[in-house]
Structure 1
């Protein structure tokens, strides 16, 4: 019985240590720098059924860009407006916190779909249960170039 217990503990340790992946490709990925929007694909669903889909271009989005700095600060610029941000990457999640004012901030969590030295594709999903009882889901897939 004691040998079985020791084998079980060893098995849990081996599985536990081998499943911890320290080399997270997104955490060390090439996000630092200026990323210019190419397009935003918007898909809208009602109760899981798509009812709208359209694409916005860089011009439609005021040639917006993100500036990600090494110290995890940055800037988002759209037209003549800019907002200071802080950012972080954990696994495939990019979180951006915007400092709107001294007392207000906004938090957005994107799913990273692609991150290379020249391409960044992220997706934002927003779910909203409306007064009509339906669940509305908007997907914003944003394509950036470095």
Structure 2
């Protein structure tokens, strides 16, 4: 289900906005912080991605003007990823239709009781995963 749903969400997002799900995830991660800027390592942690995956994704997004990478002045080994005006415009244009697609493909087909049960299950799985990560 996850793979099929992600494939449909990806296709629809590409059609509607020319963004991939990975582009969208990065843009959401940057818009979720007031500065619209994160260290590459912070973005990787927020997305639960390997730093190399983030780096490759940022390179692709930089070419399209969605983000910019800026060297950290205090640490030559680190860099910040900043949201650009183009990236902000892209996420603002894409988000409403993406939310509607998620509703259409997933949420609208579940009852309140099913959504509540799904939330309970997700919380329990996440609690286990977080505790396993801490071990």
TM-score, normalised to structure 2, is 0.19
TM-score, normalised to structure 1, is 0.18
More strand by share: 1
More helix by share: 2
Bigger Rg, structure 1 or 2: 1
